[in-house]
Amino acid sequence: MPRKKRIWYPGAAYHVMSRGNRRTAIYKDEADYCHFLDIIKMTMKEYAFRVHSICMMTNHFHMEIETADVELWWIMQPFGPDYVPTELDWWWKDEPLINCPDRRVGVIGARRCTREDKEKCINRVKRIGEDNPGAIIISGGAKGIDGYAHTAAIKNGLRTIAFVGTGPDLCYPREHTELFEQIGEHGMILSEYPPGTAAYPSHFPRRNRLIAAWSHEMYVIGAGRNSGTRSTVQYFHEYHKEKRR
């Protein structure tokens, strides 16, 4: 039976814990421990709360935390059983991921990505499909991580949506002509621009806000500090903050 939400009030103290899937290890090496601590720091910037103590063991963790002005269940979402390993540059979700059909997951990243980034992307989409066979992979149809995300979704039997910065009848980049045809068969291509609209640099930041708005969850892989994917992350935070109010 699902547990009821805990009673919450500002200044409340809680002992919280979580285990890996089927109690398997969630910390495989020192890098995983460090990454988990980074998640805590990132969450503390997003929500005001204090960590009084923490104990990290191979397959689970315990924390004593004190809330401020945000409810406990928002704070704990990044620390659920679907712990995200160190393969990702950035990850966030707006609600717990538990067998949600039609869950829309954004997967974005660098156009000029490494072979390692490509493998990370393919493995991540595969895992998303294993966790949620009904998931929909959302990306931007561009070279690099976007293209690999769409392709991996199709190969794993998932639906996929490409938000493009041109008219929906044009293929940009041109080398993705065959991929766009497959996306049309296994999902859809969406654009806010009318047919025949060519690609302009200003279109793509606007396209990014649609990816952010449509995604319940977002993964960023292989993106540099000045990458355009950072604007998608910012939009995602803004839109999903509105949902929490």
Predicted confidence at residue 206, as pLDDT, reads 87
Three-class secondary structure of residue 193 per DSSP: coil
Whether pLDDT at 22 is above 60: no
Q: Is the dihedral of CA 216, 139, 211, 109 positive or negative?
A: positive
- 109-130: string of b/e by CB count within 10 Å (b at 16+)? bbbebeeebbebbbebbeebbe
pLDDT digits 0-9 by tens, 198-210: 998 889 888 999 9
pLDDT confidence of 96, banded at 50, 70, 90? Answer: very low
Predicted confidence at residue 106, as pLDDT, reads 93
Query: How many residues are given for the chain?
Result: 245
Whether pLDDT at 182 is above 90: yes
Q: Which of 109-113, 152-156, 218-222, 233-237 has the lowest mean pLDDT?
A: 233-237
pLDDT confidence of 176, banded at 50, 70, 90? Answer: very high
pLDDT digits 0-9 by tens, 49-78: 888 888 888 877 888 888 887 777 667 766
Q: Which domains does the chain show, CATH number per domain? A: 13-83 (3.30.70.1290), 104-244 (3.40.50.450)
Whether pLDDT at 10 is above 90: no
Query: Residues with Cβ < 8 Å from 66, sequence gap 6 or more?
Result: 11, 12, 13, 14, 49, 50, 52
**Closest residue by Cα to residue 176 from 205, 202, 200, 147:** 147
**What average pLDDT does this structure show over 224-241?**
73
Q: Does this model's pTM top 0.75?
A: no
What mean pLDDT value characterizes the chain? Answer: 79
